[in-house]
Structure 1
Amino acid sequence: MTSYLVLFLAGFAGSFHCVGMCGGFACALGRHPYGPGATVARHLLYNSGRLTSYCFLGALAGALGQVICTSGDLAVTPPLDGSINLGQRILAIVAGLLMIVIALQFFGLLKGLHRATAGLGGNLFAATLRKVLLAPGSAAPLAFGVFNGFLPCPLVYAFLAQATSTAGALSGFLTMAAFGLGTFPAMLMMGGIGGALGPLARRRGVWLAGSFILLLGLMTLGRGVLPVSVLHGDHLI
């Protein structure tokens, strides 16, 4: 439970990055002509669509991690002392290193890599989102959010790496659910009050998100390299 709380808080901190990257989409939804209640419902549908995509990707990533950990020579049965097998350790090391690299991007380092990961396929998805936004009907905000959830984003990549390292579809699903729910408050606020969050608040939020991702990356890396006597079972994420 503690690990999911940390993931929720990391998602909340990262939501300031979401405001900078995807806040324009929330603002584009605007206010509903039928009043505040309809506006809230519109933005809840949009954010529920994002969450649905994150959970789907998390389950997929966790299942992939499980396949990796149970295939070939990596499928070594863990001993009774609670340690993890070779496949899980390798996966944790790779995921932890990836999260650390992404955290460094949030701190303004590795800018070339940041542009490559953030822009990969972004134009195609953005064009699709614009078409969905103009579609009539109450299902449009939900579909808009689903497509938005698949936009290339370093923040999502970081948590998908964490989901993969859990080596389970359900745990991967819950990892991305905790992260996605953490992004709800800022995105709902962005949809309701537009650009009230200034650039200074967003920059501080990005640094806070980077700090959380760095912490999670180090903890995940530690799960792969530290001996069982240090890990003490499930004390690390």
Structure 2
Amino acid sequence: MTDYSYTAAFIVGLMGAGHCMGMCGGIVGAFSQQLPKVQRGSLLAHRLQFLLAYNLGRISSYGIAGALVGGSASMLGLLFDIDTYLLVLRLIAAIMMIITGLYIAQIWAGVVQIERLGQWIWRFLSPIANKLLPIQTPFKASIAGLIWGWLPCGLVYSTLTWAVASNSAQNGALIMLCFGLGTLPALLSAGLAADLLNRWVRSKWVKWLSGAALVAFGCHTLYIGFSQLN
């Protein structure tokens, strides 16, 4: 399932642009307007420097989360029948992949309800994140991204189930890094006020095809899992 997970994680990040814009786009846009003033000729490069630093921190937080859950699953596997344990994890991950595909295709938004699971984490981190504003240095932007990467997000939590099923800290981190790289174009375009990419990923047919691909990945994984039960 791992190869599919890398591809699927990137698709979720890329095609979840609308959700990402809603969750993080306002934050990116707000601190983009608060950056230190520079000459107009170097404005684009200056802003890009801060946005890359912010997103590096944000994507790093996804990788850390993936490593934590993947590594934890690996250690828990020592306490259970490893074959049965991995099979259950893969079936859960397959179901979450199908649910995420339905969300991307705009058929069912049930995955968003998962965001409630992370509200208690954000209540602790939110005051710390607010103290970093205004963002005045790239280093400060990267720290802000590292903190805001833990913002409750149904797509992140759904992808984390695949990191858990990878049963490996390394694979879990790579799955989440692929997801983070997928979100990068949308959030960079949010900060740079470029909407061409956003119009493309919000296309009904692009969303439907991407969602169908995720559902197909999930169904294939379910098929393999149930075949192993027999």
TM-score normalised by the chain length of structure 1: 0.76
**C-alpha distance in structure 2 between counterparts of 1:63 and 1:225, whole Å:** 25
User: What does 1:28-107 correspond to in 2, within 5 Å?
Assistant: 28-30=30-32, 32=35, 33-34=37-38, 35-72=43-80, 74-75=81-82, 85-106=83-104, 107=106
Assess if the C-alpha contact under 8 Å between 2:185 and 2:197 holds in 1: no
User: What is residue 108 of structure 2 aligned with on the other side?
Assistant: 109
Assess if the C-alpha contact under 8 Å between 2:54 and 2:141 holds in 1: yes
Query: Judging changes above 3 Å, is the alpha-carbon distance between structure 1 residues 71 and 223 closer, same or farther for their aligned structure 2 residues?
Result: farther
TM-score normalised by the chain length of structure 2: 0.78
Query: Judging changes above 3 Å, is the alpha-carbon distance between structure 1 residues 5 and 181 closer, same or farther for their aligned structure 2 residues?
Result: same
Q: Percent identity?
A: 28
Assess if the C-alpha contact under 8 Å between 1:14 and 1:183 holds in 2: yes
**C-alpha distance in structure 2 between counterparts of 1:194 and 1:127, whole Å:** 30
Moved more, 97-106 or 198-207: 198-207
User: What is residue 177 of structure 1 aligned with on the other side?
Assistant: 177
Say which SS state the counterpart of residue 225 (structure 1) adopts.
Answer: helix
Assess if the C-alpha contact under 8 Å between 2:14 and 2:186 holds in 1: yes
Say which SS state the counterpart of residue 66 (structure 1) adopts.
Answer: helix
Assess if the C-alpha contact under 8 Å between 1:53 and 1:149 holds in 2: yes
Assess if the C-alpha contact under 8 Å between 1:50 and 1:148 holds in 2: yes
Assess if the C-alpha contact under 8 Å between 1:65 and 1:165 holds in 2: yes
Query: Structure 2: which 5+ runs fail to align?
Result: none
Q: CA deviation at 1:164?
A: 0.8
2:134 counterpart letter in structure 1: L
Deviations 1:45-96 (A, max 9, x none): 0110111000001111211221233323x13xxxxxxxxx222111111222
Moved more, 126-135 or 139-148: 126-135
User: What does 1:1-237 correspond to in 2, within 5 Å?
Assistant: 3=4, 4-30=6-32, 32=35, 33-34=37-38, 35-72=43-80, 74-75=81-82, 85-106=83-104, 107-109=106-108, 114-115=112-113, 117=115, 120-121=118-119, 124=123, 125-126=125-126, 128-134=128-134, 136-193=136-193, 202=202, 204=204, 210-227=211-228
**C-alpha distance in structure 2 between counterparts of 1:198 and 1:169, whole Å:** 32
Deviations 1:104-147 (A, max 9, x none): 45535365x73462584186355543332325443221122111
Moved more, 219-228 or 87-96: 219-228
Assess if the C-alpha contact under 8 Å between 2:59 and 2:177 holds in 1: yes
2:180 counterpart letter in structure 1: G
- Aligned-residue CA RMSD in angstroms? 3.2
Query: Judging changes above 3 Å, is the alpha-carbon distance between structure 1 residues 116 and 203 closer, same or farther for their aligned structure 2 residues?
Result: farther
**C-alpha distance in structure 1 between counterparts of 2:166 and 2:126, whole Å:** 31
Query: Structure 1: which 5+ runs fail to align?
Result: 76-84, 230-237
